[in-house]
Structures are given as C-alpha cells and as structure tokens.
Amino acid sequence: RRARRGTAYEGFVTAQGRNFHIRILLPVDLQLKNARIECSWRLKRILHGYRHILKQRLHSCPDLVSFMVELKTVLEIALKNTQDLHIPRPPEYYSCLVRDLEILGWNRVAYVDTGLTTVKLKAEDSCGRQHLITLKLNAKYPTEPPDCLVDFPVPFAVSWMPQNSLIDIYNQFLAALESLKEFWDALDEIDGKTWVLEPENPTRSATTRRIAIGNNVSVNIEVDPRHPNMLPECYFLGADHEVNPLRTKLNNNMHLWDPEVGLLQNLRELLGIDFPSRAVLEKSDFAKDCGICYAYRLEGSAPDHVCDDPRCGQPFHQACLYEWLQGLPTSRQSFNVIFGECPYCNKPLTLKSSMKKL
C-alpha cells in the first residue's frame, strides 16, 4: 500500500506454529535501512533482546524479502529461548556448561547472564580485529546445540554432535573469521583510505560502501563476501555529466580487473581516478547539505540525488526531493518516476524512486 510518506507492507510472519501480525513502513525513498517496524506488544516483547540484530539486518539485507527471511529466523530463535526460560535446567546442565567454559578459558568469555542461558565469547582474527559470538543455550544442552548469533555477512552454520562442547563452536567461529579475512581486509582498506558516505558506522555484516569520488559524485559498491577480490556491483550517484564518463570507463575497462590486486587499487585503475583521501581532505570538502532540508543526514542517509545541470549541481535527499516535487502543481508522475523542476535553477529534473539499496 503506497502512502504519501512512503510504502506500507502488512501481513503475518509465522514462527513455531504461531502467526504474528507485522507492518513494515518504508520511507518515500524506499530505503530498507530506514524502514520502521510496527507490531503488537507481544511480538515486541519477544524480540526485545534482538533489536540490535534486526537493525543490523535492515542495514545489510539487499531487499525486503531477504529481511523477512532473517526476521523469521530471529523470531524462531527468540521464541525458542522464551519457551526455554520456563523449563527448569537440570543440575547436569549447569555442571556441563561451567566445565565447558573452564575448558574454553574464561579469558575468552565476554559475558554470561545470571541465568547461565546466554554466553558471549570474544575472539581476535589474524589481523587483530575483535569479534563476538552470542550463544543462546536451551535446556537440552549439550544434546542440542546453542543458537549462534554473529555479525557476519554470510550465514554461520554450526556442525554439532551431542559429545561436542563450546570449544568446538569456538573453533568453527575462528575458522569462519579466517574465511572472511580477505573480505574484511578489502573493506577496512576502503574505510581507512577513502571517504565512505554510507553506512556511517558499518557493521562487520555490511557488504556495501558508498564512496565519495568528488563534489556530489559517489559510487555505491556491493562486495561479494565469498569473492571479495572480484569486480563488485557498482552504482554511480551524481549528475549525468559527471557519472556517465565513469560508467563508460567501468564498462570499457572491466576486462582489466585483476583478482590478484586489491579491490581499491582495481577500482582506481578501472575508473582512472584517485578517490579523495581521508589524510588530505575533510568530508566537508565534497559532502554538501541537501538543498531542501539544509542537513547532510536525513534518518542516517546522505544526499543521493543531484541536479543534472552542470551550473547548478545542487544535491538533495531523495525523500526531500520527492516530497517537494509532489507538492508542485507543475510536476507529473508516471509509475515510480516523477518529472518536475529543480528547486534551485528551475531546470527540468527527473526523480526515479527505486528499491536500490544505497
């Protein structure tokens, strides 16, 4: 259902044989990361301890369908743990858990709740990055494995046998960290050497980066965690006269991509540019405020639409521009495209509202 201030999706999510009513509100720019979730107080209470995970998933999921799959998985875990709270643990549960923690080493334990049902373990990968894994243990541990929650860009599936212990999960966690080393190396280099406009504070599960190229010109890349050194999906943002030459260079030079060379170096060579450096430039040198709301951040988003006229080049938030154009009697709309005039220079302007994750 499309409303003036965005799009609403309403329905039910089923978990553990129960149906829960849910409503997801997407803003006018249809950015999933800025969505609002509305649900009953009962579902809100069940998901209370998982809010940070759901927020993380909103940022990392490429579309609404993927997010609903993640929501269902988290809800299944939450319901299972809620039910488990009412099941008394046998003495063997506690003795086994304490023994497993001692074998693992208390120096690797970051947190244990008072009921000994939630454990957080910390680990450092070979590059010194710090990571956490949250284990939700049910009353049948160790016959049944704990549910594992991690900040990964890929699913983390645990191999478990009844005779296994926490150290087996921890070792699998360490192996998974090393398998993602190249992915995090590539994104850490981008975060450290370029100006990343979005996400502002990327999680380890985030696969996208919007990198500043110049004044109101940027590229959004989507990196494959399994193949981080392959050519990522690239989406340019900015005025046509700025981004069209970049698109042409990318298309003409794709064959030059070298998987043996780092992601950032490949992008530099294919596009024939030097990305603005954090060491030399300030963000304010190329990040201009929206021409309608006069702010840079709007619900976490940076301006993502620019007037195509080279003499103007004023940036806007897609949501602000959409609202502005809808309010003008001279504007017209065809499906998800709205035609109007730039609020600054009055030149013709076209805005396409899409589900593209920026």
Q: Report the CATH number that the domain containing residue 343 is assigned in CATH.
A: 3.30.40.10
Closest to 278 (Cα-Cα) out of 215, 194, 181, 189: 194
Kindly report the backbone phi and psi dihedral angles of residue 295, in degrees, each rounded to the nearest multiple of 5, phi listed first: -125, 160
Listed residues 32, 59, 85: the one ending a domain: 85
Residue 19 in any domain: the answer is: yes
- Per-residue model confidence as pLDDT tens digits over 236-282: 988 888 889 999 999 999 999 999 999 999 999 999 999 988 776 66
Residue 174 shares a structural domain with residue 198: no
Residue 170 in any domain: the answer is: yes
Residue 218 token pair: 């940027």
Q: Can you point out the beta strands (E) in the chain?
A: 2-3, 6-15, 18-26, 36-39, 109-112, 118-124, 130-136, 147-150, 196-198, 208-214, 217-222, 233-237, 305-306, 315-316, 332-334, 337-341, 348-352
Kindly report the backbone phi and psi dihedral angles of residue 122, in degrees, each rounded to the nearest multiple of 5, phi listed first: -110, 150
pLDDT at 165: 92
Q: With beta carbons less than 8 A apart as the criterion, state whether 137 and 104 touch.
A: no
DSSP 8-state code for residue 291: T
Closest to 148 (Cα-Cα) out of 74, 225, 198, 94: 74
Total number of domains in the chain: 4
Distance CA 63, CA 66 (A): 6
pLDDT at 89: 83
Listed residues 114, 147, 179: the one ending a domain: 179
Distance CA 93, CA 99 (A): 10
Q: Report the CATH number that the domain containing residue 161 is assigned in CATH.
A: 3.10.110.10
Residue 252 shares a structural domain with residue 295: no
Residue 96 shares a structural domain with residue 162: yes
pLDDT at 357: 35
- Please state whether the peptide bond connecting residue 146 to the residue before it is cis, i.e. omega within 30 degrees of 0: no
Residue 12 in any domain: the answer is: yes
Residue 241 shares a structural domain with residue 324: no
Kindly report the backbone phi and psi dihedral angles of residue 192, in degrees, each rounded to the nearest multiple of 5, phi listed first: -85, -30
- Per-residue model confidence as pLDDT tens digits over 152-200: 999 999 999 989 999 999 999 999 999 999 999 999 999 999 999 888 8
Q: Report the CATH number that the domain containing residue 211 is assigned in CATH.
A: 3.10.110.20
Strand 233-237, strand 217-222: pairing: antiparallel
pLDDT at 86: 62
Q: Is the pTM of this model over 0.75?
A: no
Residue 297 shares a structural domain with residue 338: yes
Residue 13 token pair: 């999510």
Residue 42 shares a structural domain with residue 108: no
Residue 68 shares a structural domain with residue 97: no
pLDDT at 3: 43
Q: Which residues of the chain have pLDDT under 70?
A: 1-6, 83-87, 280-287, 300, 353-358
Q: Which domain holds residue 216?
A: 194-286
Residue 132 in any domain: the answer is: yes
Residue 247 token pair: 């698109």
Residue 128 shares a structural domain with residue 175: yes
Cα-Cα-Cα-Cα torsion 340, 343, 347, 351, nearest 10 degrees, comes to: -40
Residue 164 shares a structural domain with residue 199: no
